[in-house]
């Protein structure tokens, strides 16, 4: 559950006025761990805004995949999977997301 930033600020300022963690958590009806985390974040950053999520690529960077395909146009998906340390399915999905890259649908037994 997300709390409004003004609510967080009020709870932290109430705690910093000298009230105990237990009293503050009862007044604002929040958990003590949540309150401790807010106070800690306030002391470390001076900010109680929502954190911006940062998402990256797990294994396959699209730019690296594009350059690999440009350098190795005849490579099979299993070879690409070995190069990037993932499965052929992951390579196929990444190539499909790129869209402009020709996808090989060969299955070799």
Q: What is the CATH number of the domain that holds 61?
A: 1.10.10
Owning domain of residue 19: 5-45
Instruction: Kindly state whether residues 40 and 66 are assigned to the same domain.
Output: no
Three-point CA angle 43, 7, 17, nearest 5°: 50
Instruction: Kindly state whether residues 72 and 29 are assigned to the same domain.
Output: no
> Sorting pLDDT into bands at 50, 70 and 90, what band is 107?
very low
Q: Calculate mean pLDDT across residues 63-72.
A: 90
Answer whether 12's CB lies under 8 Å from 39's CB: yes
Task: Give me the pLDDT at residue 96, please.
Answer: 87
The highest-confidence range among 6-10, 61-65, 66-70, 100-104, by mean pLDDT, is 6-10
Instruction: Kindly state whether residues 65 and 41 are assigned to the same domain.
Output: no
Per-residue pLDDT of 30-66, as tens digits, reads: 999 999 999 999 999 999 998 887 776 777 888 899 8
Residue 93 domain flag: yes
HSE-up (13 A, CA, CB side) for residue 22: 0
Tally the domains of the chain. 2
Instruction: Kindly state whether residues 65 and 108 are assigned to the same domain.
Output: yes
């Amino acid at each position: 559950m997300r709390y409004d930033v003004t609510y967080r600020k009020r709870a932290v300022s109430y705690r910093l006025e000298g009230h105990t963690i237990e009293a503050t958590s009862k007044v604002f009806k929040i958990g003590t761990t949540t309150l401790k985390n807010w106070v800690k974040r306030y002391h470390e950053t001076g900010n109680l805004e929502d954190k911006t999520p940062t998402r990256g690529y797990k294994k396959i960077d699209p730019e690296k995949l594009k350059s690999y395909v440009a350098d190795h146009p005849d490579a099979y998906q299993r070879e690409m999977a070995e190069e990037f340390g993932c499965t052929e399915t992951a390579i196929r999905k990444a190539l499909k997301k790129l869209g402009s890259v020709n996808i090989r649908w060969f299955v070799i037994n």
